Amino acid sequence: MRQSDRPAPNDDAEQIDDLKAADAKEVHRAVREAGEVEVNRPAASLLWSGLAAGFAINASLLAEAALHAGVGEVPWRTLVVSLGYPIGFVIVILGRMQFFTESTITAMLPLVTRPSLWTLRRTLRLWALVILANLAGTALTTLALTHLPMLDPSLRDAMASVSAAILRHDAASTFWTAIPAGFMIASIAWMLPNAREQSFLVIFAVTYAVGVTGLSHSVVGSAEAFTLMWTGRIGAAQALFVQIAPAVIGNLVGGAGLFAVLAHGQVRPEMHGEGADE
């Protein structure tokens, strides 16, 4: 081999660095910096991106409905139908759209790292704008899907049938089942810096687990609640205060209250004296 054909030492070092997984402190930095960018985005950008995420997440409901319509009454029906649940998440997360349950950790890390009234206000602003935009997106999309001739009647009926699963939960059980869902979805943002080319599999695996276990997700659950509301199966009060609001609060507790605080806690001793510099 000629000398010129050999890889440069720096190239070898870079290849080794690329293969190494980031440690917890590096992941914390990456997620925190992403959160700092998000909380400082203009309100219009957050609203448009959140609205797009609200539109796109309905792909989960549509995929589940298509599988539900194609699979008969068999014991393993839920296992198959839930394969459609991750589709909207893949679009939203890899598309870098503003999504409430992902922002619970990304926006929380800057706040717990450098607590201040200004950061708290920016974090609450982000959450409020994103969840309102996400819900507006699911409401408008499900209204169109249920009232305009966009889908075959059989698929519209399947959307309602899939959505009816949320009626098993009252407000209290919606809240409690939303906590582990919020924790699990927030974990995706923590894992993605190390996922690299496996990002699709990470998102798919975690969200499939949320869907197949029947946990409550505020945004997908809102699409299901609005579908039932637009088709006359439940009223607006039940959709908003029994299905959606408890899920929003539970996701926030699980994502920001548990996962983000625990994720920060594991690296906080190593950040002692460095917070102002990072």
pLDDT, tens only, 209-235: 999 999 999 999 999 999 999 999 999
- CATH 3.90.1170.30 applies to domain 12-271: no
Could you tell me the end-to-end alpha-carbon distance of the chain, in angstroms, rounded to an integer? 45
* Full-model pTM: 0.86
Question: Where exactly are the structural domains of the chain?
Answer: 12-271
Q: How confident is the model at residue 33 (pLDDT cuts 50, 70, 90)?
A: confident
Note the pLDDT of residue 126.
93
Distance CA 133, CA 126 (A): 11
Q: Is the pLDDT of residue 173 over 90?
A: yes
- The answer to whether 88 touches 58, Cβ cutoff 8 Å, is yes
Residues 6+ apart with CB under 8 A from 240: 225
- The answer to whether 163 touches 228, Cβ cutoff 8 Å, is yes
Question: Between vectors from CA 153 to CA 57 and to CA 95, what angle results, nearest 5°?
Answer: 15
Distance CA 204, CA 89 (A): 8
Note the pLDDT of residue 14.
47
Distance CA 240, CA 140 (A): 15
Q: Is the pLDDT of residue 156 over 90?
A: yes
Note the pLDDT of residue 1.
47
